[in-house]
């Protein structure tokens, strides 16, 4: 793969992920513009997230049986059309429906990962996956700022319309930039319903997939618990800040965009297991640093900044390592493997958000940090129980494990 193609695909990941997050910043503007209560306007975000979950299950596995270029062009075109529909919606119900379609189809980033894993040499896979993850992180962080500023300036419809134009342009670019790929013969000609059940079958059949899913679900659960509760901490009596403080703290986390390509190169050089060991240890250490945020004042704020930076970097680095391990398992089933992996990761994040809020409400910020430490510790114990890497694996090779701690 050329650097130009990697850059194009990273930008596409940023835009696709950004389409999922930018509506979060224009909810109040939608409520005012359509003259509906704010809680009803929040249905736009909910519909987008539900659609995205459905797209992960229903559309991402098709990357194994449809040519990637064609699939990306169709998905981006449908997303662009849905964004146009949302930007022109005359009332809340059609806006919610269009938002669900945006979420359903804006899964291009999850299609691009398996595509890239099949195009690059194994000794470069981690570095390229890290670059793509940097794009996704940038899209997630910058989308809210982009839509908030543009929405305040031109109204809530403007972010949707601008995103639609950018997405449709990328659909045209994909038609010429992405090389043609041929699906594996084993993935074609099977009933659609049976094909969609494959991620579950792979979870049962592949111990290394289950291991990677467990790592990421645990770490992303702790990550989500921290970030969901952080807003309550910063706006509470300990700090008394506004909601914008959380956004500024999230932008500080943008430094992780620079770390993930480096983590990918480490995966290529030393293998996924060693990077997982460092990343899981980093998450555990971040829990101790974040606990200092309960102090309040400048010292507590410094602990929150340092802790969230360490947590973000460790979580993203672990994701690169886990994806490298997962994509190496079955070259003919990478999209289905990715569906299983990402579904587990997002399920862990959802559970972590729920647990984090309840831990904070009942016991305060130290309980949230304890939850993060518990989840990271469980993943680290599982990792330390894994069989030692067999001698002489190639760079970036998947570590083999035995059943010492269960499969």
Pair (215, 184) in one structural domain: no
The pLDDT tens digits of the residues spanning 288-301 come to 999 999 888 889 99
Pair (16, 122) in one structural domain: yes
Give yes or no for residue 133 having a pLDDT over 90: no
pLDDT average, residue stretch 137-143: 82
Pair (132, 160) in one structural domain: yes
Pair (176, 224) in one structural domain: no
Pair (182, 212) in one structural domain: no
For residue 235, being part of any structural domain is answered with: yes
Question: Among 194, 221, 253, where does a domain finish?
Answer: 194
For residue 399, being part of any structural domain is answered with: no
State residue 88's pLDDT score: 94
Pair (68, 180) in one structural domain: yes
Mean pLDDT of the chain: 85
For residue 403, being part of any structural domain is answered with: no
State residue 390's pLDDT score: 44
Pair (136, 89) in one structural domain: yes
For residue 149, being part of any structural domain is answered with: yes
- Residue range of the domain that includes 115: 3-194
Q: Cα separation of 11 and 2, whole Å?
A: 14
For residue 404, being part of any structural domain is answered with: no
Give yes or no for residue 246 having a pLDDT over 90: no
Tally of residues, the chain: 407
Report the number of distinct structural domains present in the chain: 2
State residue 213's pLDDT score: 94
Pair (89, 118) in one structural domain: yes
Pair (221, 363) in one structural domain: yes
The pLDDT tens digits of the residues spanning 6-61 come to 999 999 999 999 998 888 778 778 888 898 887 788 788 888 888 998 898 899 98
Question: Among 194, 227, 248, where does a domain finish?
Answer: 194
CATH for 287: 1.20.1250.20
Task: Give the pLDDT band of residue 311 (cuts 50, 70, 90).
Answer: very high
For residue 405, being part of any structural domain is answered with: no
For residue 279, being part of any structural domain is answered with: yes
pLDDT average, residue stretch 231-235: 80
Residue whose C-alpha is closest to residue 307's, from 381, 379, 231, 227: 227
For residue 391, being part of any structural domain is answered with: no
State residue 389's pLDDT score: 47
Task: Give the pLDDT band of residue 208 (cuts 50, 70, 90).
Answer: very high
Give yes or no for residue 242 having a pLDDT over 70: no
The pLDDT tens digits of the residues spanning 72-131 come to 999 999 999 999 999 999 999 999 999 999 999 999 999 998 888 888 888 788 888 888
Give yes or no for residue 64 having a pLDDT over 60: yes
Pair (173, 27) in one structural domain: yes
pLDDT average, residue stretch 142-169: 88
Give yes or no for residue 343 having a pLDDT over 70: yes
Question: Among 150, 170, 194, where does a domain finish?
Answer: 194
Long-range contacts, stretch 152-160, CB < 8 angstroms, 24+ apart: 152/29, 155/29, 155/33, 156/26, 156/29, 156/30, 156/33, 157/33, 157/87, 157/88, 158/87, 159/22, 159/23, 159/26, 160/83, 160/84, 160/86, 160/87
The pLDDT tens digits of the residues spanning 251-273 come to 776 777 778 888 888 888 888 88
Pair (207, 264) in one structural domain: yes
CA angle, 16 then 17 then 23, to 5°: 100
Give yes or no for residue 394 having a pLDDT over 70: no
Pair (227, 182) in one structural domain: no
| Cα torsion through 340, 140, 46, 84, rounded to 10 | -110
């Amino acid at each position: 793969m050329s650097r130009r193609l990697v850059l194009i695909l990273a930008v596409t990941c940023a835009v696709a992920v950004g389409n999922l997050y930018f509506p979060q910043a224009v909810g109040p503007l939608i409520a005012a513009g359509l003259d509906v209560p704010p809680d009803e306007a929040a249905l736009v975000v909910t519909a987008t997230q539900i659609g995205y979950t459905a797209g992960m299950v229903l559309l991402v596995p098709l990357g194994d049986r449809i040519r990637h270029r064609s699939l990306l062009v169709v998905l981006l075109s449908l997303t662009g059309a849905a964004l146009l529909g949302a930007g022109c919606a005359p009332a809340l119900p059609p806006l919610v429906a269009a938002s669900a379609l945006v979420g359903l189809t804006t899964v291009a980033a999850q299609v691009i990962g398996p595509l890239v894993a099949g195009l690059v040499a194994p000794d470069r896979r981690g570095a390229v996956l890290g670059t793509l993850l940097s794009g996704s992180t940038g899209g997630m962080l910058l989308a809210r700022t982009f839509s908030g500023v543009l929405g305040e300036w031109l109204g809530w419809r403007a972010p949707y319309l601008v995103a639609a134009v950018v997405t449709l342009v990328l659909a045209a670019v994909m038609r010429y930039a992405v090389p043609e790929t041929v699906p594996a013969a084993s993935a074609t000609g099977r009933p659609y319903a049976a094909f969609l059940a494959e991620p579950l079958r792979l979870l049962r059949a592949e111990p290394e997939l289950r291991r990677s899913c467990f790592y990421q679900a645990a770490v992303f659960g702790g990550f989500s618990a921290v970030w969901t509760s952080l807003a309550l901490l910063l706006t509470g009596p300990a700090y008394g800040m506004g909601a914008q403080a959380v956004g500024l703290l999230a932008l500080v986390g943008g430094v992780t965009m620079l770390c993930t390509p480096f983590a990918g190169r480490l995966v290529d050089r030393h293998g996924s297991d060693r990077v997982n060991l460092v990343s899981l240890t980093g998450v555990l250490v971040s829990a101790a640093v974040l606990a200092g945020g309960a102090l309040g004042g400048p010292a507590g704020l410094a602990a929150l900044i340092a802790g969230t930076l360490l947590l973000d970097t460790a979580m993203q680095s672990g994701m690169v390592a886990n994806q490298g391990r997962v994509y190496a398992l079955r070259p003919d089933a990478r999209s289905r493997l990715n569906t299983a992996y990402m579904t587990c990761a997002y399920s862990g994040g959802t559970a972590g958000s729920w647990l984090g809020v309840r831990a904070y409400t009942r016991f305060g910020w130290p309980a949230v940090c304890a939850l993060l430490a518990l989840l990271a510790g469980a993943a680290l114990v599982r990792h330390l129980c894994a069989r030692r890497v067999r001698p002489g694996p190639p760079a970036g090779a998947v570590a083999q494990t035995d059943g010492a701690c269960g499969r």
